[in-house]
Structure 1
Amino acid sequence: MTYAEQPAWRQIQEFLPESFRLTEATVPAEEWWDHHLGHRIHLDTYRNPDAPVKVILFHGVGTNGRQMSTILGRPLAERGYETIAVDMPTYGVTEVAPGTLVTYDDWVQIGSDLVDAELAKDDRPIVLYGLSAGGMETYHVAAVNKKVAGIVGMTFLDQRSRRVRVETSFDPISGLVGASLMKLLSATPLRTLRLPMRLVSKMRALVNDRGATRVFYTDPTSAGNKATTTFLSSYLNYQPAVEPRDFDACPVLLTQPAADRWTPLHLSEPFLAQITGVPVTTIMLDNGGHYPIEQPALDQMVEAIDAFVAKSARP
């Protein structure tokens, strides 16, 4: 399947301001990238050989690449950047290798490999952007791949933090025991058990519009997805290659939606406060939910990321 055949993203984008909706004339090109782990990775691309910087967009555990293209990929492309939105395995329309148990470690590896694949084509700087869990993924990728020129997150959630787990899980109890339970189950025949993400996370706070939430839930390629206990264990127990106090790879930008009911600012601050080796900037997005569909948050996000990415292009 391609997004040309998938109706869910069109229904979801109806909740966005008209200026952020894709039309037949503005939809991204769809590419396929054969990864060495066996997955056929789907990429939404706005290729531009004259662009000074490439921006790779990571989704979270309740979204997919096309939803990144709508709120940021196309707007940045219109400002002269090349953008690439990736569907990580089990999300979007990426084709998962048969018989594979996908882990969060795979996501980080794929992100790093995509950076290398793009740099093999040319030497333009690459900035990573991530929404929700994708925000921390940008850090995890930059921690293993020092070729990244900058990272932008809509949140930076260190799942090793009890407070992060408690406040972002479905409820406090699952937040307290979830990581240990998933680790236990992943070592048993139940490692392939698939759980609805809406029942293990605070997915109800993905967007601040009930109608949009209902549509997201019907989309099995984003918020309606199910994840294995193996994936959940690897995500909740992931250890970064570099601790934040030692991170010196590239500048960091947090674009924090001010009305985020899932991952408010105080959950990212403790992690970012430990990063002292590179500049760290926080920009608040007024009125924006976790996946922002509101103004002025969307325009503020594009402006802030445009300014951040532009600095990466300077010699």
Structure 2
Amino acid sequence: MSTYAQQENWRQIQGFLPAEYQLKPAQEPQEEWWSWGRHRIHLDCYRNASAPVKVILFHGVGTNGRQMSTILGAPLARRGFETIAIDMPEYGLTQVGTGKPVRYDDWVQAGSDLIDVELAKDDRPIVLYGLSAGGMETYHVAAKNRKVKGIVGMTFLDQRLQQVRDETAYNLFMSRVGVPLAALTARTPLAGLRMPMAAASKMYALVNDPVALKACMADKTSAGKWVTMGFLASYAAYRPAIEPEDFDVCPILLTQPAQDRWTPLHLSQLFLQRIRHVPVKITMLENAGHYPLEQPGLQQMVSAIHDFCVEQACARS
């Protein structure tokens, strides 16, 4: 069973982060395994029984749980929170069982089930964080589960909107032809056919440092991942349990990198402007790219999420 202690890719990627965000061996999270259906899901954990809040971290389609631990899990743990970064099926070190191809719906269900597992241990408030596609996943999970106290997204992208598809897909051909083709293929025995996520999306805009991008693309458990037609189709067409006009579960924070060349602010605003029943706050991260490697954006992100979590904990008490 492979672990991040044995993997070099994430260490090469973290080498592009500021020194204070680079984990030394004694600072690495505890690695846990969670049996979920036919899968063995990998969790990066900073457990802290006295923490007032638990934060569950979701990666996107170009990252994995360890990359969430470096930029946020460890920094929040140092500030006294408990953090859990999950590798969703097909990504990171999660072991995928045999059977039907993994769908985006599985990601949402896994996130919801993990919340239930953690709430069964104690009743501390849970906040969700998601980067890139993980941002919208926080919303989808919260809408399904309805038990979290806050969600933080690095973009909220409703892929059902043609504008969002057009601006986040690799090109217009992939958006206008590739996505419908994936939907058709997903209904056939070829649903398990794979393609590089980098051919479907603007993975070239994951980070703004070209040398760092090469390191990210070399990681076959994150940016270099090949995904199935079934996953792509379900991701593009997923319908939330609650539409934004009716969402009343918890407050929302968008931490938007100011130099995001993949998912700029206006794409998230298309979705967030439809939220009417809960507070929505936007914090801009200066100088930061989509997966943020840069200061002061990284520090601004950690501070904004820390303050947001404290607010939710105080609201509970």
* TM-score in same-fold range (> 0.5): yes
The residue correspondences of 1:1-315 to structure 2 (distance < 5 A) are: 1-35=2-36, 37-314=37-314, 315=317
Q: Is the 1:44–1:65 contact (alpha carbons within 8 Å) kept by the matching residues of 2?
A: yes
Alignment length (residue pairs): 314
- Name the amino acid aligned to 1:6: Q
d(CA) in 1 for partners of 2:131, 2:86: 12
Name the SS for the 1:119 alignment partner: helix
Name the SS for the 2:233 alignment partner: helix
Name the SS for the 2:239 alignment partner: coil
Q: Is the 1:179–1:233 contact (alpha carbons within 8 Å) kept by the matching residues of 2?
A: yes
d(CA) in 2 for partners of 1:221, 1:18: 24
Normalised by the size of structure 2, how large is the TM-score? 0.98
d(CA) in 1 for partners of 2:146, 2:197: 32
Q: Is the 1:165–1:175 contact (alpha carbons within 8 Å) kept by the matching residues of 2?
A: yes
The Cα offsets for residues 163-196 of structure 1, whole Å up to 9 and x where unpaired, read as 1000100102211223311110111222111100
- Name the amino acid aligned to 2:54: K
d(CA) in 1 for partners of 2:226, 2:53: 34
Name the SS for the 2:26 alignment partner: coil
The Cα offsets for residues 117-151 of structure 1, whole Å up to 9 and x where unpaired, read as 00000000000000000000000000011111000
The Cα offsets for residues 190-242 of structure 1, whole Å up to 9 and x where unpaired, read as 21111001111100000000001111111100000000000000000111111
Normalised by the size of structure 1, how large is the TM-score? 0.99
d(CA) in 2 for partners of 1:176, 1:230: 17
d(CA) in 1 for partners of 2:214, 2:22: 19
d(CA) in 1 for partners of 2:100, 2:229: 13
d(CA) in 1 for partners of 2:295, 2:59: 20
Name the SS for the 1:158 alignment partner: coil
- Name the amino acid aligned to 1:195: M
d(CA) in 1 for partners of 2:177, 2:56: 34
- Name the amino acid aligned to 1:10: R
d(CA) in 1 for partners of 2:264, 2:108: 24
The Cα offsets for residues 35-66 of structure 1, whole Å up to 9 and x where unpaired, read as 1x211000000000000000000000000000
The Cα offsets for residues 60-105 of structure 1, whole Å up to 9 and x where unpaired, read as 0000000000000000000000000000000000001123410000
d(CA) in 2 for partners of 1:41, 1:192: 20
Name the SS for the 1:25 alignment partner: helix
Q: After TM superposition, what 4+ stretches of structure 1 lie above 3 angstroms from structure 2?
A: none
- Name the amino acid aligned to 2:111: G
d(CA) in 1 for partners of 2:228, 2:308: 36
CA RMSD of aligned residues (A): 0.6
Q: Is the 1:89–1:96 contact (alpha carbons within 8 Å) kept by the matching residues of 2?
A: yes
In the TM superposition, residue 291 of structure 1 has moved relative to its aligned partner by: 0.1
